[in-house]
Every structure is written in C-alpha cells, then in structure tokens.
C-alpha cells in the first residue's frame, strides 16, 4: 500500500508540534529498509527532534532509503497533504550517514536491520562502543528476543523493543517491549516517544512475537494445519474467517500477503527456541511451498495466484 494514499496519521498530516515536550532531542534509525525508512520519516515528520540520523553501513542501502523517504514525502506534497515548507523541514532534519561515529551523541536509537541475530549482534557490539553511555537503544524486531539483544548491547537497563507495523507511515500501532532488565523510567520514556510521534502505543513483556504476532502467527499456522488435514479448502477457510469473525482478509490470504517465507522464518525460529510450546508448529503445506519457492504475493504464487498485489484464485 502506498503510504500517501491512506494517510490519516497525525504524525504525517500535522508534522510539527511546537508545544509538545521532546521525549528525545536527537534520534537515530539504523537500517533504512522497508521498516527503517518509514520510522525515520515518521520521526522526522513529528518535528520533535533537533535531528534524525539515518544510518546504513553501505552507501547503496543508504541511498535507497533516502530515495524512499524523498519519494514518500514528495507524494504527500503532490496530494496536498504536506506543504512544500513542511516537506523541506522534514527532509532537512534527516542526516544520512554510513559512519557509526555520527551516532555517538544520539539520545535514542532505533535498530531496524534485517531479522538476523548475527547481524544484530555485530551492530550492537559496534553501537555499544560508539554511542554515549546514557543513550537508549530500541529494536524494531518482530520476532527475535529483546532480552538477548539487550544483553549483547552492554546496556540492558537502557534497552527496549519498539515494534512498528508496515507501512509505518500509515499503521498506528507500536508495541513497546520491556525486558526484566529494562529500567522503568527508560521504558516510560520510550513509550511516551512512540505516542509523541503520533502512534498508539501498547505495552508488552518480552514474549515471542509480542502481542500481535504471538496471537496472529499461530492462528495462521492453524489454518494451514486444516489444509494439511484436508478439513476445509483454502477458499472456505478464508471466507469463513472473513464472514464469521469479521476479519478483513482470511488467514491464508494474509499469509500470502505477508510472505510465506517470512511466516516460515518466524515459526522455525520459535520452534527451535521453544520446542515445548504446542502453539509453535510448522505445517507441511507451508514447508512445501517455501521449498518450492511459492512464497505468496511476492513470488506470484502461494495459497493463491497473484498478479502484483492483486489476488487471484486459490492454487489447486
């Protein structure tokens, strides 16, 4: 979905709040991919920070993130949802860099690199030595352990999760995650920041998947297990949940939309780490589709046929 098409988020429509107290003066976002560029844009759009530092280790990824932000802001201007002056202020408040030393003085850093714990370990080792001692770290992970990253960071009392949803510019929810190590004052400050930038924040402990994915992903797996057992068709499972439970799309449609490889990656990690949790199970049909490269919307075929973002008939 294009964030400029359904933009009723306060953080984008009313980008500057001069009367709001700043949760943090300087904010950084490490990783400018699908999620990171959106977090960076929303933070800059809030007008609450003297600067927003956008960090990528490689120039090509930094340039791609910058292009995404500039394109998104430009579309909002063209649709009359931002003035040119506001757009200029948003874009000029972002400092793009590949140099970790530019993160040395930030007050709050949101990590949004890919869901690979080895990569995150390397990043947090670097950041722990680079950033000032009282800087607060936050991970945007959707499935990895906040506690494990907190302990790697060298500042577990100053570490939280801030899980945004895609597309960040539109989706209002942010899950703010505490660990047993998190200083309550640090947690409160991060929670307030999420609300200050125009989001609706909810609190959660460090449970696998937090609130949304802990409830959602196992429900997707249960739908797939019904397919495995030939208890109902793909079409009827999705239709039943739409009409019987008021869901905007059925679970198999949603899994295709998310990406079957993403679903597989999340649940595979959970089953390995929590082998005794009965809710965490990998259906045979999911493994088969991922093994065959049928990943849903992104590959053109999963539980359904896809033409771009347009869903077709179920795969027979």
Q: Would you name the residues annotated as active-site residues?
A: 142, 163, 175, 213
Which backbone phi and psi does 259 adopt, to 5 degrees? Answer: 120, 120
Do the bridges between strand 159-164 and strand 173-178 make them parallel or antiparallel, or are there none, so unpaired? antiparallel
Cα atoms in the 13 Å half-sphere on the side-chain side of 18: 0
User: Do residues 160 and 178 make contact, with C-beta atoms less than 8 angstroms apart?
Assistant: yes
Contacts of 78 (CB under 8 A, 6+ apart): 4
Q: How far is CA 84 from CA 80, 206, 256, in A?
A: 9, 41, 38
Residue with tokens 């990569």: 119
Q: Which H helix or E strand runs over 164? A: strand 159-164
């Amino acid at each position: 979905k294009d964030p400029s098409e359904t933009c009723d988020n306060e953080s984008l429509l009313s980008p500057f709040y001069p009367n709001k107290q700043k949760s943090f003066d300087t904010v950084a976002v490490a990783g400018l991919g699908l999620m990171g560029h959106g977090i960076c844009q929303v933070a800059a759009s809030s007008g609450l920070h003297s600067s927003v530092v956008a960090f990528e280790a490689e120039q090509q990824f930094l340039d791609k993130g910058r292009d995404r932000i500039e394109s998104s802001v430009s579309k909002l201007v063209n649709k009359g949802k931002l003035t040119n002056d506001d757009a200029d202020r948003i874009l000029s408040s972002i400092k793009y860099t590949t140099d970790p030393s530019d993160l040395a003085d930030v007050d709050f850093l949101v990590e949004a690199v890919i869901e690979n714990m080895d990569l995150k370990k390397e990043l947090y080792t670097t950041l722990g030595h680079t950033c000032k001692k009282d800087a607060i770290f936050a991970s945007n992970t959707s499935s990895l352990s906040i506690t494990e990253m907190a302990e790697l960071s060298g500042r577990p009392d100053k570490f939280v999760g801030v899980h945004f949803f895609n597309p960040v510019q539109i989706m209002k929810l942010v899950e703010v995650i505490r660990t047993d190590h998190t200083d309550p004052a640090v947690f409160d400050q991060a929670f307030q920041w999420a609300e200050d930038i125009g989001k609706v924040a909810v609190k959660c402990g460090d449970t696998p998947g937090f609130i949304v994915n802990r409830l959602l992903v196992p429900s997707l797996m249960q739908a797939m297990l019904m397919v495995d057992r030939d208890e109902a068709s793909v079409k009827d499972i999705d239709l039943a949940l739409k009409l019987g439970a008021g869901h905007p799309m059925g679970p198999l449609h949603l899994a295709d939309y998310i990406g079957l490889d993403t679903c597989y990656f999340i649940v595979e990690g959970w089953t390995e780490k929590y082998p005794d949790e009965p809710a965490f199970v990998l259906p045979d049909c999911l493994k088969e589709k991922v093994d065959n490269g049928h990943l849903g919307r992104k590959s053109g075929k999963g539980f359904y046929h896809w033409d771009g973002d347009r869903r077709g008939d179920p795969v027979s």
